[in-house]
Amino acid sequence: MKHSLPLVLLALIGCAAPAWSAGMADQVSVIDPHVRQAPPGAKVTGAYMTLRNAGDRAVPLVTAGSVAAHITELHNHINDGGVMRMRQVKEIVVPAKGEVMLKPGSYHVMLIDMKAPLKDGDTVAITLGFADGSSKTIDVPVKRPTAAMLPKGDMDHSKMKH
């Protein structure tokens, strides 16, 4: 019977391990992630996706990281006296049994000072870190922005006669 205590401890550790790994990251699924292909010469771009939370508690996304950029930040667009500006945010909360969209003009993951140009067809690994320390790494395809996403006059010039 003297050996029963260590066995109990082992059993507790054995039970605790799956609970630890089954953190907030496992509650969240990532839908349609994509990185916008930056214009030539630009060293910043945004990553967009929908985060869906299957759990019954809110999940704050608190970090994003990528080897493709020297700095990766969580951003939001805010209306500052009529001017839309980007601001770094501490967290993007995915509501319980709900979802949050990271999209142009709203929340996004900002890739700053990219190490190499990303082009349509490339894939970028992005690690999303949540408030409980759990994380999820996703492979995100790079997509050329559609004409609707570009400012007027910034269309594809290749078909124009000069």
Residue 99 bridge partners (DSSP): 52
Q: Do residues 58 and 94 touch, judged by C-beta distance below 8 A?
A: yes
Closer CB to Cu ion, residue 24 or residue 92?
A: 92
Residue closer to Cu ion by CB (options 24, 38) is 38
Stretch that binds Cu ion, among 19-27, 84-92, 114-122, 124-132 (CB under 5 A): 84-92
140 vs 118: CA distance, rounded Å: 11
Interaction between residue 143 and Cu ion (CB under 5 A): no
- Cα(107)–Cα(76) distance, integer angstroms: 4
Q: Does 89 bind Cu ion (CB under 5 A)?
A: no
* Closest separation in Å from C-beta 46 to Cu ion: 6
Region from 6-14, 28-36, 60-68, 71-79 binding Cu ion, contact rule CB under 5 A: 71-79
Between vectors from CA 149 to CA 124 and to CA 141, what angle results, nearest 5°? 15
Task: With residue 137 as reference, give the H or E element that holds it.
Answer: strand 135-143
Q: What residues between 107 and 126 interact with Cu ion by CB under 5 A? A: 110
